[in-house]
Amino acid sequence: MITRRAALSGAAGLLCAGMAPVLPVPPGNHLGFRVIRKGSDIGLHVLDFARDGDWLTVKIAADIAVKFGPITLYSYVHRATERWRGRDLESMETSTQEDGTITRVSLRRVDTGLAVESTRFPSYVAPANALPASHWNEKMLDGPVINTEHGKLLRPHVTMLNEEPVPTASGGTVEARHFAVRGDANIDTWYDDTPTWVGLRFTSHEGAEIRLERI
């Protein structure tokens, strides 16, 4: 097992040669995932990308409901809009409703970094290189990251495990690199070689495994 920093060290020569990375906008400007809990579908997580010159807008929507018959035991609705200019995050607005409790986060780039305001935590200025923990941009694994649900700054430890086949919602698989994110966050995430986000796994508060499978 190797850390992400070590895994990326070989790319340093490319960067020095001027081949700077670009944002990994997926083909078709869309990503969709089925959210699965204990083998059952409980929702969708979708991302849509739109370019306008140097600007990129990313709109994210996640809708989850865990039910027992007609009774909703848990509900989660998340909306986010990210605005990027070139490779720099310029602003973000999010709203998360979890079992009726709403949390809002706003972010904007300022001279000293990224000014973050949250209805849940005191305002602060994050480092200029911080990225939102919205998963689609593999570079977020370099940290630090800003939790898009409540706005807290996180500095998790990331380890690249191996390349492996990852199941998709269609019943097929896609080869992707597996990263374990631990510490401030505890998730497993996968990216193919483009690099496009292809899957996610974590454990919910009640101990159930939650998976996102690419549609």
Specify the residue for token string 């995430």: 189
Residue 5 neighbours by CB under 8 Å, 6+ apart = 142
**Mean pLDDT of the 206-211 span:** 92
Domain containing 70 equals 2-9+26-214
Is 181 domain-assigned? yes
Is 18 domain-assigned? no
Determine the Cα–Cα distance for residues 44 and 61; give it in Å rounded to an integer: 8
Is 20 domain-assigned? no
Is 42 domain-assigned? yes
Which pLDDT belongs to residue 21?
54
**Mean pLDDT of the 186-215 span:** 95
Is 168 domain-assigned? yes
Which pLDDT belongs to residue 17?
36
Confidence of residue 65 (pLDDT cuts 50, 70, 90): very high
* More confident call, 9 vs 205: 205
Helix (H, G, I), strand (E, B) or coil at 148: coil
Which pLDDT belongs to residue 206?
85
Global pTM reads 0.88
pLDDT digits (tens, 9 = 90+) for 139-166: 999 989 999 999 999 999 999 999 999 9
Which pLDDT belongs to residue 175?
97
| Mean pLDDT of all residues belonging to the chain | 91
Is 82 domain-assigned? yes
Which pLDDT belongs to residue 52?
96
Is 169 domain-assigned? yes
**Mean pLDDT of the 76-96 span:** 97
Instruction: With a cut of 70, say whether residue 5 has pLDDT above it.
Output: no
Q: Within 13 A of 130's CA, how many CA atoms are on the CB side? A: 29
State how many domains the chain has.
1
Residue 160 backbone phi and psi in degrees, to 5: -85, 125
Is 21 domain-assigned? no
Which pLDDT belongs to residue 205?
85
